[in-house]
Amino acid sequence: MQQSIIDWISLGINALGAGATLALAILVFNWTRKSERNSVTRSAQSDWRDYNLAVLADEELQRLEAENHLHDGLTTLEVKKMCIYFIKLNVPYNMWIAQKSDLITNADVDREISNQAALLFDDRDFIKKHIFPRGYDDAFCDLFHAKWKTREGQQAIEPKEVEPTH
């Protein structure tokens, strides 16, 4: 009887240890998968950054990019602008991907997207047409659209300055 109780206690402890090991293995697996996705995204974005920098430095690549663009009619100046926007937007995009994997906070991502949305506000139509359709997730783009829509609403209600009359 004494041996039977010890066997059951030992079995329970072993089962608890096995369960804890399994739970830890699942946590490590999920974290590794999220981390790997973030790493792959950063690597791909780094490759695109290198390409965009090469285009910015080479007039022949600018002409080639203008010819192969999704929408006809880009000038080499617009190609340069497009490459700069890709570089600028890849920072908050990488942060957004990292946040989805719980690697950084939502507040950090929101702050960066708010900042970039404000900086890029005046050229948002160009970005919507030439930048966002080239590989950014719709959910990421929607964050910018929401910031721009809010700012458009704020501009609509701001009082216009009236010049004094003499």
Query: pLDDT tens digits for 60-117?
Result: 999 999 988 877 778 999 999 999 999 999 999 999 998 988 889 999 999 999 999 9
Query: So what's the pLDDT on residue 40?
Result: 77
Q: What's the whole-number mean pLDDT along residues 11-40? A: 79
Element (H, E) at 25: helix 2-57
Q: What's the whole-number mean pLDDT along residues 115-123? A: 97
Query: So what's the pLDDT on residue 1?
Result: 66
Mean pLDDT taken over the chain:
87
Query: So what's the pLDDT on residue 159?
Result: 59
Query: So what's the pLDDT on residue 68?
Result: 85
Question: Model pTM?
Answer: 0.71
Positive/negative CA dihedral, 20, 25, 31, 34: negative
Q: Which of 5-14, 81-90, 94-103, 125-134 has the least mean pLDDT?
A: 5-14
CB 49 within 8 A of CB 88: no
Residue predicted with more confidence, 88 or 39: 88
Closest CA to 148 of 116, 128, 130, 121: 121
Q: What's the whole-number mean pLDDT along residues 140-149? A: 97
Residue predicted with more confidence, 85 or 31: 85
Closest CA to 120 of 98, 100, 104, 136: 136
Query: So what's the pLDDT on residue 164?
Result: 61
pLDDT band at 158 (very low <50, low <70, confident <90, very high): low
User: What percentage of residues in the chain have a pLDDT greater than 90?
Assistant: 48
Residue predicted with more confidence, 160 or 117: 117
